[in-house]
Amino acid sequence: MKKFVQIFKIPLIIFAVFLVIGIACKVIADNRPKVEFVRNNSQCTTERVFDYADVLTDEQEEELRVKISEAEQVCGTDIVFVILDESLEEYAKSYESTIGYVEPYQYTMVFADNFYDENEFGFDKPHGDGVIFVDNWYRESDGGVYSWLSTSGRAINDLSTDNCEFILDMALDYVEDDPAYAYDYLVDLIEDYLNPNIRLGDGLGGGISVLIGLIAGLIFFFVNFGGKKGKKTIQSRTYVRSGNADVLERQDIFLTKTMSRRKIETQTRSGGGSHVSAGGHSHGGGGHRR
């Protein structure tokens, strides 16, 4: 027993410290005041799923509406989905006189911003807190299929450009094979970022999993490497007579020359920060290409 304690003393201490920290975080999370939101915008439509491309079945649309409604209540932000299958090039470029030159990856951005503004979405007020996701299945003239997650109000700060691009990359990895699952997953990811009541505590399970892995690694290290360092058995003179080496011959022979050329492919990504839409309202967000 004493030998066991000696071997695992440091890992056990580390485990105890992290366990206490984990319990403390859980207690704090469970006892802090919950943030509750009250909707103040009655001007926008109650519809949240606009599947103009008929990608989803009627049943899948309704399930997505229910999921979005539940997420809106805990996040305090409107969540809107628009699914298209048409070129937006001509539409987006018609606004260049107002917002400047538009790249292909920005076509869905222009549409998303305008759709949000024109329908006066916003949980707290028209053009207020919310996000709108536009997924266009049409392959534009540059060969890209583009999506955009536009943010407004409080969501601009809560969801950075990198955040938006990350969750789009995660969710839309499944969209070609199972659109309903991808969109459902996207709502989950949006909620994870925008729900202030789960930013501390609810992610504890994943943290404990990492902690267990760390502890297991420490135990393995101390048991297998502690006090078992090998001795050096080979010296510089082991295979050299009298400690000296003679170089008998040195010769460089040129055999052949091979050159290869490779094009480095780049992927168009979204711009950074917030911007002003054609309607004069501030938006953030990020995009995805597939």
pLDDT of residue 196: 86
Q: Can you tell me whether residue 249 is helix, strand or coil?
A: coil
pLDDT of residue 234: 58
Band of pLDDT at residue 206, cut at 50, 70 and 90: very low
This prediction's pTM: 0.69
CA distance 286 to 210: 29
Q: What would be the CATH architecture of the domain defined by 49-201+283-289?
A: Roll (3.10)
Given a cut of 70, whether residue 255 has pLDDT beyond it is no
Q: Can you tell me whether residue 275 is helix, strand or coil?
A: strand
What are the residues facing 132 on neighbouring strands? 80, 150
Say how many residues make up the chain: 290
Given a cut of 60, whether residue 216 has pLDDT beyond it is no
**Domain locations along the chain:** 2-31+202-225, 49-201+283-289
Band of pLDDT at residue 277, cut at 50, 70 and 90: very high
Answer with the residue of higher pLDDT: 210 or 58: 58
Given a cut of 70, whether residue 178 has pLDDT beyond it is yes
Given a cut of 60, whether residue 213 has pLDDT beyond it is no
pLDDT of residue 232: 57
Distance spanning both ends of the chain, measured CA to CA: 59
Given a cut of 80, whether residue 210 has pLDDT beyond it is no
CA distance 171 to 183: 7
